[in-house]
Structure 1
Amino acid sequence: MTTSPASRPARRALACAVTLVLALVAASCSVPPKQQTPVEDVATSASGTGETGPEGFEDFYGQSLAWEDCGAGWECATARAPLSWQDPSAGEIELAVKRRPASGERIGSLLTNPGGPGASGIEFVTSLAPMVGDRVTEAYDLVGFDPRGVGESSPVVCLDDAAKDESLSRDFDTDEAGLEALAEDRRAWAEACAENTGDLLGQVDTQSAARDMDMLRAVLGDEKLAYLGYSYGTQLGATYAGLFPDKVGRLVLDGAIDTSLDPDTISEQQAVGFENALRAYVEDCQAGEGCPLRGDADQGMRQVRALLDAARSNPLRTDSGRRVTQTLAFYGVAVTLYNDQSWPVLTQALTEAFDEGTGDLLLYLADFYNDRNPDGTYSSNSTEAFRAVNCLDGRQDDDPAAMQAQLERLEEAAPTMGTFFAFGGLTCEGWPFPAAEPEFDLHAEGAAPIVVIGTTNDPATPYVWAEGLADTLDSAVLLTWEGEGHTAYGRSNACVGDAVDAYLVDGTVPEDGLRC
């Protein structure tokens, strides 16, 4: 049994890159609108807006960034942010920022976030540039930043590579002894994070990151925020809208998270999302040539689960000498479900496992998911930041009876994948800081129109979440892509792309309920 490894609704950076990387391995009608009028133009300034920000934080809002050339037309800078937005005397942290200036008539900055929480916006914005419409890159400075706790910004630091390797590959029993071992593993994470990160560990919640984003907006010279957020980035964007509704300009929230849901419900609905995505893969695989899954879709799903269970009792061998545990095998399957263009690689991995009893490709995929390099080092702190942010944003029920009851619900709703989302209540075991109290308006009353995008068979952020967030935000309109995989803008079709481009550049709000 593995515990909630896939509940990373914001692994957008991975989702964007996965098709290209896996290709190297593979060598292979609408309803009446809620809003249709253009939103107001975004007023901008080449320097800061001159805002003072909240009392005590004037120096942060008034700072000037020292931009330096960092190659290929990009500029990089480091911004200062307060450690605590509640206490200006608590000290400060650094935020890494990267931008590519608009290539045409500039209307402002477009801040972006790839998800996670924990994915690097610095890395993401480079890969985003060719994905967005030309009209967008002509009109906006594309801006990426690593949120507090992430990457090149002041980071969360926890286990060393060897200990992290061991933890991310372990399987745990669901009996009393197994769950105690799981709890002890999570306590070790918490202790290491506290020792190696310090007070920052208690200040990486999404509300603090949203306040950082407002500061960056002002420092960049934008009177209103223009923003493109994917997956967890939609939670960050919705939180911003709830905190600063009067500063909302043009917000696109793609692969939406429903901010009205509790963490247990999120976990259960995400399990169903991955179950549905796996079934879509199985049906597609069986309809083609060379599929290792026999019989009908139900039988194919059971074969995948049997493989995962077999890896628990007899981990798959690899050429590297490492063994593919059930946990690693699950990661390897899950990562390919973020993009249907990666399905052929899953077929290769399953064929290797069934026919040869080896797991080299599954291990490669699991390492890719976890940002692990071949030499055993990790290329990012995304796992650490993911856990830290989520433990401050909200926690699942850790009552043993409640967790067992949830396991039963998960196995009934998602027979193949549900088990792997169980016992998330232990993720924050021993966490040294309490969850942050919500301070934002879920409905973002008074905000300008916000575009929420959902993909009908998105595994990581199920479509029902997009519907929920669109209903929750007072000014939201819902744009739907009838497709497979995680998120839509930049990887779907012209219907989605043109609608988003027209909104960002012209301020033309799509029809509420538009389906592409």
Structure 2
Amino acid sequence: MPSSEPSRPRTRGRVPSALLALLFGAVVYLNIGLVTDEKNVNTSLAHQSEFNWNKVEPTHDLQWVPCYSDQQCARLLLPLDHDIPDGPTTAIAIRMIPATDKENYRGTRSGKDISRVLGPAYDVLSFDPRGIGYTTPLASCFDSKSQRDIWKTQEGHMLLNFTDASLATYRSRAEALGQRCAVKLGGEWGIGRFAGTAYVARDMLEMTKILGQEQLQYWGFSYGTALGQYFAAMYPENVKRIILDGVIDGHSYRRARYETDIEDVQNVADTFFAFCHAAGADKCVLYESTPAKIRDRFYAILDAVTASPVAIPLAEPPLVVTRKALAEQLFEATYRPIYTFPVVAATYHALETGNATALRALAPSIVSPTACACAEAGPHAAVANEARWAVERLTAPVAAERTAHPLLLLSNRFDPVTPLAQARRTGRGWGRGAVGAGERGHCSTSSPSVCTAKVGVLPEEGATCEVDVLPFVGERDGGTNGFSEEDRELAEA
């Protein structure tokens, strides 16, 4: 962050009204703080295996059943094609944390921590968008998780490089996967035609109405920011409060142009050395007297692994640590540096010292473990041989001169996959949107800040909040010692 004191958004009460509205969306995120990119798919409902979604009867209205101890779940039937209401359907898996303060009820939102930020007067709702998680039919190009894992292993340990055969291999694999997906997901009523972002935005509108709320309150993260922009462009009069967090440029998203998405990855990764040094030897096991020396030590370990990959035979399953595995671990760590940089440091220290016990414990954080999961991935829609893709698309600009309420845009100063520059470009298309920048990582949740959580009104363009926690270092400037009990709860959330 700049050394000068940042301008701080004005606050009011416990939670910003803009945030609250957004969160409904949250609930109905629609509460869609649903991040559906592959890296974050483990946050979807599908990975909450302690509840049997297959036993929830799909209905055309919301029939809630108890789930996950204190929550409510439902499967909502909506048309695959909203223009053919009596045709085939999709069953949207929806999960809600009910409001506890019904007397001051204010709408719907999403997530336990979000619920703590918003307070007890909101329902918090999330759902699996079309094609993923426990929403059916499932858009999967593979018949099981094991089949997908086997496909991934065939890539081997090649890093993409323009100077060797890896580029041709990656391209051939992409073509093979694309052809397979066209067959698996295609056909007149195949899910491939009906899983586009415009369809999901329409689903959000229908869910909002079924919940008895004419306008959307929504907090969208990552891909959810593209979904929020589609919704606002398609239904500007139905916008109540929308927060776009970790902003994707909607125009680039629609054109499938991602060349600027990772421009800040190196900036985030490089802070590893600076924060390790600032934290000291007690908090960073790779500490040296200067950040440059930490960098040299880090790359010396990486080069040693490149020359001689390290086996972890007693990991479950056993694995070999390669340069590619470490590169992927570091990239994933840039999403949430506060939580994951120490794990990266511990990994490199264990490799440097040959600590087999530590490496065995760290193995799941180096390479995602695989397990036998040969059951069917889930029900697919009927498939024909010839793929015909999505029939409903947003052809108008991904923007609107005016929405019923303004949009709040949040992006970190350095985000590895949704750079701040994208948020600034996006804000210009919405007139009244603003950008609130955090520090490093993907979305505001990776840079905890009570200041951000307490935004009361739409801030000035470019307003920023100081973060409360730093990688390795921990709490900054006395931490939460001066916070009220309420603010400490917010900081924890």
TM-score normalised to structure 1 length: 0.65
8 Å contact kept, 1:131–1:490 = no
Letter in 1 for 2:462: G
* C-alpha separation in 1, matches of 2:426 and 2:309: 40
* C-alpha separation in 2, matches of 1:178 and 1:432: 31
1:515 maps to 2:464 = yes
* C-alpha separation in 2, matches of 1:191 and 1:343: 38
- Superposed, 1:68-467 pairs within 5 Å as 68-85=65-82, 88=85, 91-104=88-101, 105-110=104-109, 112=110, 128-134=111-117, 136-154=118-136, 155-159=138-142, 160-167=147-154, 169-171=156-158, 172=160, 174-175=162-163, 177-198=165-186, 199-261=190-252, 267-287=258-278, 288-289=280-281, 291-292=285-286, 297=291, 301=295, 304=298, 314-319=308-313, 320=315, 321-339=318-336, 340-356=338-354, 360=360, 363-367=363-367, 372-375=368-371, 377=373, 433=389, 438-447=394-403, 448-467=405-424
Kindly state the Cα deviation for residue 196 of structure 1 after the two structures are TM-superposed.
Answer: 3.9
SS of 1:261 mapped into structure 2: helix
- Correspondence for 1:30: 7
CA deviation string 1:143-163 (max 9, x = no partner)? 000001111012222231442
8 Å contact kept, 1:331–1:365 = no
* C-alpha separation in 1, matches of 2:320 and 2:400: 48
* C-alpha separation in 2, matches of 1:83 and 1:326: 44
1:64 maps to 2:55 = no
SS of 1:284 mapped into structure 2: helix
* C-alpha separation in 2, matches of 1:182 and 1:318: 27
Kindly state the Cα deviation for residue 435 of structure 1 after the two structures are TM-superposed.
Answer: 10
8 Å contact kept, 1:294–1:300 = yes
Letter in 1 for 2:108: S
- Correspondence for 2:41: none
8 Å contact kept, 1:250–1:449 = yes
* C-alpha separation in 2, matches of 1:474 and 1:97: 32
* C-alpha separation in 2, matches of 1:170 and 1:188: 19
8 Å contact kept, 1:31–1:513 = no
Question: What RMSD in Å do the two structures reach over aligned CA positions?
Answer: 3.8
8 Å contact kept, 1:132–1:490 = no
Kindly state the Cα deviation for residue 217 of structure 1 after the two structures are TM-superposed.
Answer: 1.0
8 Å contact kept, 1:131–1:491 = no
- Correspondence for 1:398: none
8 Å contact kept, 1:317–1:323 = yes
Given the superposition, is the C-alpha separation of residues 188 and 256 from structure 1 closer, same or farther in structure 2, using an over 3 Å criterion? Answer: same
8 Å contact kept, 2:194–2:391 = no
8 Å contact kept, 1:490–1:497 = no
Given the superposition, is the C-alpha separation of residues 472 and 355 from structure 1 closer, same or farther in structure 2, using an over 3 Å criterion? Answer: farther
- Correspondence for 1:387: none
Percent identity reads 22
* C-alpha separation in 2, matches of 1:498 and 1:301: 37
Given the superposition, is the C-alpha separation of residues 490 and 273 from structure 1 closer, same or farther in structure 2, using an over 3 Å criterion? Answer: closer
SS of 2:260 mapped into structure 1: helix
* C-alpha separation in 2, matches of 1:442 and 1:302: 45
Given the superposition, is the C-alpha separation of residues 173 and 261 from structure 1 closer, same or farther in structure 2, using an over 3 Å criterion? Answer: closer
Kindly state the Cα deviation for residue 314 of structure 1 after the two structures are TM-superposed.
Answer: 4.5
8 Å contact kept, 1:211–1:240 = yes
Residue in structure 1 matching 2:444, options 480, 488, 491: 488
- Correspondence for 2:476: none
- Superposed, 1:46-65 pairs within 5 Å as 63-65=60-62
TM-score normalised to structure 2 length: 0.68
Given the superposition, is the C-alpha separation of residues 464 and 307 from structure 1 closer, same or farther in structure 2, using an over 3 Å criterion? Answer: farther
Letter in 2 for 1:164: W
SS of 1:317 mapped into structure 2: strand
Letter in 1 for 2:172: E
Kindly state the Cα deviation for residue 453 of structure 1 after the two structures are TM-superposed.
Answer: 0.9
Given the superposition, is the C-alpha separation of residues 380 and 137 from structure 1 closer, same or farther in structure 2, using an over 3 Å criterion? Answer: farther
Kindly state the Cα deviation for residue 357 of structure 1 after the two structures are TM-superposed.
Answer: 8.8
- Correspondence for 2:475: none
Structure 2: runs of 5+ lacking an equivalent: 1-5, 11-15, 25-58, 378-385, 466-493
